[in-house]
């Protein structure tokens, strides 16, 4: 049996700083959206709340993930991040529906908004999210890079709020606030659905989208000494740390050194594909596989 492990370093401190900054501004944003009577700002507040939850979960689970595997979670605690992702999706879905129930009626009966307050909040939003993204710019982990992209999207959203606010400063086209709110919410919902599909795929132990099982099988079977590969399974702990298990059939009884070479070549292949865990079982070509139900 072969076991191969890799350690990954995440930008914990950058994520922590971005989390507190984003959460603080989100709370200010909710209050500001109510005071200025702007559903566009409240829509962006819901989006920022989702980002805050993602940051908080990423920071919390980074700390939890440092716990070693135990008798309860033999693979460790990284899979908790998928549960956190599902919670985030539910929060964003609920918040988006709430915003739509307020924004759509305003299309027929637009309400006045306080443009100077909206401008101030928009400028603060651009600065806060821009600074948080800057803090994560040097992050080496996938979490840090993804969060930075979300924060840059927030900057673009706040730029749109700023543009509408300036227009409302000189006009009474209050319907623009509702239109922008609906557009932001629909954009958030589109991203939520995409992330939900991806998260459910990983949660149900589907093959990660960036990995081809057939390609892995071909690469292993061309290794000298390998006759066949079956029970090849690939899944992911959390979207970043992937797991590979396989039954390797060899065509003849080989020496200790030959077996070590086969195992070494497969582990080297797994390392090049960034697998966090690799488990191999070796069988002879005339040996009966005990797991015949789905020898794939």
- Per-position DSSP letters for 163-222, written without gaps between them: HHHHHHHH---THHHHHHHHHHHHHHHHHHHHHHHHHHHHHTTPPPTT--HHHHHHHHHT
Provide the pLDDT for residue 8: 38
Q: What is the CATH number of the domain that holds 72?
A: 1.20.1510
pTM of the model: 0.63
Q: What is the CATH number of the domain that holds 273?
A: 3.30.70.1350
Residue 127 lies in a domain: yes
108 with 89, same domain? yes
29 with 48, same domain? yes
Provide the pLDDT for residue 2: 43
184 with 40, same domain? yes
Nearest C-alpha neighbor of 28 from the set 120, 165, 152: 120
How many domains would you assign to the chain? Answer: 2
Q: List the chain pLDDT tens, one digit each, 296 residues.
A: 444 444 334 456 666 777 787 788 888 888 888 888 888 788 778 777 777 776 777 677 666 766 676 777 777 767 777 777 777 777 777 777 877 887 888 888 888 888 898 899 889 888 887 887 776 665 544 455 556 656 776 787 788 888 888 998 898 898 888 888 888 888 878 877 887 888 888 888 889 988 999 999 999 999 988 989 999 999 988 787 899 999 999 877 778 888 889 999 999 999 998 898 899 998 887 776 666 555 44
Provide the pLDDT for residue 160: 84
Residue 4 lies in a domain: no
183 with 251, same domain? no
Single residue among 157, 175, 203 that ends a domain in this structure:
203
50 with 178, same domain? yes
Instruction: Kindly list the distances between the CA atom of residue 113 and the CA atoms of 46, 220, 251, in Å, as whole numbers in the listed order.
Output: 19, 64, 76
Compute the distance between CA of residue 89 and CA of residue 13 in angstroms, rounded to an integer: 24
Residue 291 lies in a domain: no
What stretch of H or E contains 277?
strand 275-284
Domain containing 219 equals: 213-284
117 with 50, same domain? yes
Single residue among 203, 225, 260 that ends a domain in this structure:
203
Q: Is 239 helix (H, G, I), strand (E, B) or coil?
A: coil
Provide the pLDDT for residue 154: 74
Single residue among 155, 177, 203 that ends a domain in this structure:
203
Provide the pLDDT for residue 14: 66
């Amino acid at each position: 049996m072969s076991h191969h492990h890799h350690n990954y370093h995440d930008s914990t401190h950058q994520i922590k700083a971005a989390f507190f900054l984003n959460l603080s501004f989100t709370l200010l944003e909710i209050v500001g959206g109510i005071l200025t009577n702007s559903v566009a700002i409240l829509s962006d507040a819901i989006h920022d709340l989702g980002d805050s939850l993602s940051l908080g979960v990423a920071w919390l689970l980074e700390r939890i993930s440092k716990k070693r595997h135990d008798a309860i979670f033999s693979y460790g605690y990284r899979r908790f991040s998928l549960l956190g992702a599902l919670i985030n999706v539910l929060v964003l879905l609920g918040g988006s529906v709430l915003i739509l129930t307020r924004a759509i009626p305003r299309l027929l009966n637009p309400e006045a908004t306080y443009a100077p307050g909206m401008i101030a909040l928009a400028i603060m939003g651009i600065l806060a999210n821009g600074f948080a993204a800057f803090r994560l710019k040097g992050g080496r982990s996938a979490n840090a890079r993804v969060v930075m992209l979300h924060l840059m999207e927030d900057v673009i959203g706040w730029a749109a709020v700023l543009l509408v606010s300036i227009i409302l400063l000189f006009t009474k086209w209050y319907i623009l606030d509702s239109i922008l709110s609906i557009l932001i919410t629909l954009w958030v919902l589109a991203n939520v659905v995409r992330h939900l599909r991806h998260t459910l795929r990983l949660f149900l132990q589907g093959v990660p989208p960036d990995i081809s099982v057939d390609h892995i099988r071909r690469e292993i079977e061309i290794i000298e000494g390998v006759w066949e590969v079956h029970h090849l399974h690939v899944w992911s702990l959390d979207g970043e740390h992937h797991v590979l298990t396989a039954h390797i059939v060899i065509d003849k009884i080989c020496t200790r050194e030959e077996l070590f070479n086969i195992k070494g070549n497969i582990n080297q292949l797994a390392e090049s594909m960034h697998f966090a865990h690799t488990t191999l079982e070796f069988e002879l070509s005339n040996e009966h596989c005990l797991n015949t139900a789905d020898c794939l």
